[in-house]
Structure 1
Amino acid sequence: MKSLKIGNLEIPVPIIQGGMGVGISLSGLASAVANEGGIGVISAAGLGLIHKEKSLDYVKASIEGLKKEIRTAKEKTIGVIGVNIMAALTNFEDMVKTTISEKADIIFAGAGLPLDLPKYLKPDSITKLVPIVSSAKAARIIAQKWINNYDYAPDAIVVEGPKAGGHLGFKANQIEDNNFSLEEIIPNVVKEIAPLRTKYNKSIPVIAAGGIHTQEDMLRIMELGADGVQLGSRFVTTHECDADEKFKQEYIKATEDNIEIIQSPVGMPGRAIKNEFIDQVKEGLKSPKSCPFHCIKTCKVEKSPYCIISALYNAYKGNFKNGYAFAGSNAYKAKKLISVKELFNELTAKS
């Protein structure tokens, strides 16, 4: 298993920890992953709730919270720290500017097309820019926009398949269609960006994500052209994960049958662990009274079946009467809590 290089960053182990919000991957998990030689990732979603103060509104609390998480992670590791920022966030620009000014190593941007991301870089910026896509077409559109408008090719590309947890960049009928599987998408993206690698003399590694659980999964997808992998669900059941212990136990208790596709208020399908809250949503019993956060561009309170940021924040705190856990398709395979170090040892063990 070769090391991963993104620009001038050397990542000894080609494993990226997925950015999981709200609050599931913060400085604690990210620094632990970075210390094992992977890329630790802080999720920017919902930080205004996690770091709320009376003197700050949601937007300002999000900025201050992100600064705190990046600085705390950097104090705990000399490894590589990234920030996951959803393009669908209404405070996307604030989160990007803050991440760059705090000199985080990488921005991972998905949940929409981050077409103007390079415009936020300054001459002295060190932050690498990595879009998250679900198709070769999306990779091409983003790369063309970045190159045409900013003369900037992506530093890497994360390709997230339909087995991922959380919001998915696929239509409902594509999720179980083998034509849209990660195994089909990866070679197409590699082929799409090959000319850019040559033209810009840039490695532009392709990172595979979604449903990767074992070393065998990793090696199989890397044989298809991926240079590294991104794992989310595997890191939830670690001691260092920033979520409440009850959140981690939702994964431990999960079965294959109760991980299902739901329709999110943001207008995208998502994969989650079924519970009473989700059942009540289906019955129309969870409509929000107001929207104090305005956190997602595509979420309309008058049409929303529930407030997604509140639901995810409640789950992060262990309150599953009023929330639920996003999870990847193989999340149910976790049977116990382990350390990040143990997980890395398992994924990188020589046969």
Structure 2
Amino acid sequence: MSDASVRFAVVGADHPHVFEIVHGLTTAGAIAAAHAPEGGLVEAYVGWQTESEERPADDIIADDSIALVVLAGVPSQRAAVAVAALRAGKHVLSDKPGVTTSDQLDQIRSAIAHRNGRSWTVLFSERFGNRAINAAVESARAGTIGRVVHVIGAGPHLLSAEHRPDWFWDDTSTGGILVDIGSHQADQFLAIATGADGTPGDVRHASVGNVACPDRPAMQDIGAMTLVANGVVGDHRVDYLTADGLGTWGDVRLTIVGSDGVIEARANIDVAGQPGGEHLIVVDADGTRRVDVSHRRIDWAELLLADLADAGERLMTQSHVIAVCDLVLHAQHAASRWGE
């Protein structure tokens, strides 16, 4: 299977990440062959990918010419499509979260066990789509700040309530705030602490709450979790509390503390600092410096297509994807109410 021969189809277009995912794949040489007429963003998708053919999801899954199924529908609906596609002999690339319940993850595990070389990948776009975060993780894993002892991740988001679909407000649809956006932080933590080799992590503490959406009492607008793996402690907070005046959708940060220094990635904005996004700052024995990451290539799609060609694991291991999903599901299940 050559990169250019990979034909893919989109099943479910409810999250804007579908545009990022498809752009990455087509830029890397894959072909947007078809889409299912499902999701609130389908009309915009069709207007963008004009050559994509509209077909029912069942027909897409049964089509042997389509090698990859892309999922960006309502989060709680992704796993069932993934299982069907895997059992039909297709690769699956899902927006995060890939699953919203432990039962769904068990079903994915079963389908993977019989997949005959087919992969289930969840794209954790904070790490793979942001040069600063990607470089920070890579640098820490290379030992540039000594032994990593502490990881601090923050994933604040702008609520933009007027633009949110109905399913957004229902934690049975999203899996809850730690399962949903917290999966980015769990991915980064495990990638740093374990090298993304599939080693599981443990949840020491977790909490979720609603502190600013009184009209949506079931909504979780803040969550935190303390994770431990391979002797590294990770403290993470995700929320929808970003003020409108920030100028971007969130002040996402990753701080990695090592025995010989600190690495900080400021993904989207450097508050009261340098303009633009993707900032990487290093403090070590040589001083404090900013590292230019603008030259780094965002190559997740190229790596993924290469993996599809030879059953490789260049982008990430299958066991890492499972470990991330399992970790946030445990955190969500164990979470106490915020402030208790």
| TM-based fold match above 0.5 | no
Structure showing the higher strand proportion among its residues:
2
Structure 2 length as normaliser, TM-score?
Answer: 0.32
Structure 1 length as normaliser, TM-score?
Answer: 0.31
